Amino acid sequence: MPKKTIADQKRKTPRKQKHSKSVVSRKNTTIPISVFDNVLKQFGEAARKLKLDPSMLEFVKMPRRSTIVNLPVQMDDGTFKMFTGYRVQHSIIRGPSKGGIRYHPGVTLDEVQALASWMTWKSAVVNIPFGGAKGGIVCDPYRLSKGELERLTRRYVADMIDIFGPDDDIPAPDVGTGPNVMAWFMDTYSMKENRSIPGVVTGKPIILGGSLGRSEATGRGVMLTTREACKYLKLDLSSATASVQGFGNVGSISAKLLHELGVKFLYVSDVNGAIYNPRGIDIPKLLKHVEKQKTIVGFPGSKKVDPEDVLHARVDILIPAALENQITADNAARVRCKLIAEGANGPVTPEADKILEKNKILVVPDILCNAGGVTVSYFEWVQNRIGYFWTEEEVNRRLEEKMVAAFKDVLDMSLNNKVSLRIGAFMLAIARVVDVVQLRGIYS
């Protein structure tokens, strides 16, 4: 099927997610919260502080290419079904564009543009030589068979084969995808090139060239930046309490690692509900429960509570690790923690940021907090290129060095300019991208 490359398209309203605040209401009118507009607001506030050339800022803030494909896939019953796929390359200024592929029924162009933009700034914050990209397919992967998922993935790769490449655009897993999808992706691309090219994707199975430590990398990055933020706040982790919204890969691993440092988790939620234990939830036992039951609900010794309680709990640390737009102007005033560590992308809206800042709640922003994933993806790409693989201890050591240095750089920018950590992170990232543009120049 033909694909179309677009400069702009009317944004679609994302489907409402369970426990997600994706809309605001004004005078009985429901208005969708544009995730990409949120990114532009964050960018704009940081850019004003930098006082850079407006034309330069206009060049670096918008996606360079947005592509939509219509994908015909044969289902197991012999019928054909059409799926919509997206790939947005936000920037290739600092290196190949990098970003995951999301399989979810609520995927929209607006969301993918926002996620691609965050990837640019995230890569710049941790100072790795990547630009930003993101992809997605509108589907429910849990309602598709393994064969249907494979055929969908291979069709998506084939229709965008000219976009991807280890020196061009490097995908990774995201919501609804994982190592298996990356294996199909790598194989399809490699067959088109008639040779094995493991560096075209990251997050692959270890046997296919994946990196040790990759599956825990995002959650480990959340733990490391939370640890550094607690040092700054003089908050003792061994006596700290926490809640985590979302108990998927990022939420569960960050909770596990922080639990090992002594943090007591009182609230945990997933897509099925939320649980509470005032004495603390045994995270290792909860992980075993989830492995068997596929949900946190029904965990012995816990009480079922309203999922909103997780966001409003009186705890020291809140980790939103679900989807975008969870803390908005409607509920930010009810957030009562000391520290928010953004495991998810875009869980706090710009309007909510102002309320949290006024209430002296420190927010470790997504483009810093959850950058562990892209950092170890970079390590995997490097290992694929040189053909030599590091131990897990080496990967984790290098990740810690990167995350601690990035936190210090962001904190310094924040304190020196009297801005929030989020605006400090954006200022740091924008300055690094603009520096490269000025050195390279703009081809026209």
> Can you say whether residue 92 is alpha, beta or left, with left for phi > 0 and alpha for psi between -120 and 50 degrees?
alpha
Catalytic residues, by residue number, are 134
Q: How far is it, in rounded angstroms, from Cα 348 to Cα 325?
A: 6
Mapping DSSP to helix (H, G, I), strand (E, B) and coil, where does residue 252 land? helix
CA end-to-end distance (rounded Å), the chain: 31
If residue 353 lies in a helix (H) or strand (E), which one and from where to where? Answer: helix 350-358
> Minimal CA–CA distance to 186: which of 213, 210, 215?
210
Backbone phi, psi, residue 15, to 5°: -65, 145
Whether residue 269 contacts residue 310, with contact meaning beta carbons closer than 8 Å, is answered with: yes
Chain centre to alpha carbon of residue 430: 19
Close Cβ partners of 197 (under 8 Å, ≥ 6 residues apart): 166, 186, 189, 190
Mapping DSSP to helix (H, G, I), strand (E, B) and coil, where does residue 91 land? strand
> Could you tell me whether strands 317-320 and 339-341 are parallel, antiparallel, or unpaired per DSSP bridges?
parallel
Chain length of the chain: 444
User: Which residues in 426-443 are b (16+ Cβ under 10 Å) and which e?
Assistant: bbbbbebbbebbeeeeee
